[in-house]
Structure 1
């Protein structure tokens, strides 16, 4: 009679068990408001003054200007220190 090693238990079974737990769901941080997700953002005071001035010129809110800037960076690319990320 030969002695055989037991087969290691599949980690896939353990992973599927853990991911099936009710508290396993990763919940987004912040508060959901309509179709948007509220976040916390820290901005330097001097930059905030410039954002407020631009918002006043455009007749938009501060949040609208920040949203537009982020949208443009994500959709049209961003250049930082000469490196362009599209």
Structure 2
């Protein structure tokens, strides 16, 4: 039985060449809807009910309330109570 060398892996030059291709970019996750991206969100039923109640009280959509909350958290940080 003859001893053989394992096949060489693709060289770094080849990796760099392939990753430089225009279609090699990773696509962003989510479905594009105008200037926004649609995502999936899992939320507890109790919290969802509170979001819906706040949305109805303010005359906004559920999505608008969630967007506003995320925007405020990102811009101003989260406050511990």
Residue 65 (str. 1) matches residue 65 (str. 2): yes
Structure having the higher strand fraction is 1
Q: What per-residue deviation string (whole Å, max 9, x for no partner) do you get for residues 39-86 of structure 1?
A: 000110000000000000000000000000000000011135x7xxxx
Q: Please list every run of 5 or more consecutive structure 1 residues that lacks an aligned counterpart in the other structure.
A: 1-9
- Tell me the residue number matched to 1:37: 37
Residue of structure 1 in register with 2:53 after alignment: 53
Separation in 1, partners of 2:39, 2:66: 12
Structure 2 residues without counterparts, runs of 5 or longer: 1-10
- Structure 2 vs 1, CA of residues 48 and 15 (structure 1 numbering), >3 Å: closer, same or farther? same
Cα RMSD of the aligned pairs, angstroms, is 2.0
Equivalences, count: 71
TM-score with structure 1 setting the length: 0.72
Range moving further from structure 2, 16-25 or 54-63 = 16-25
The residue that corresponds to 2:26 in the other structure is 26
Normalised TM-score (structure 2) = 0.76
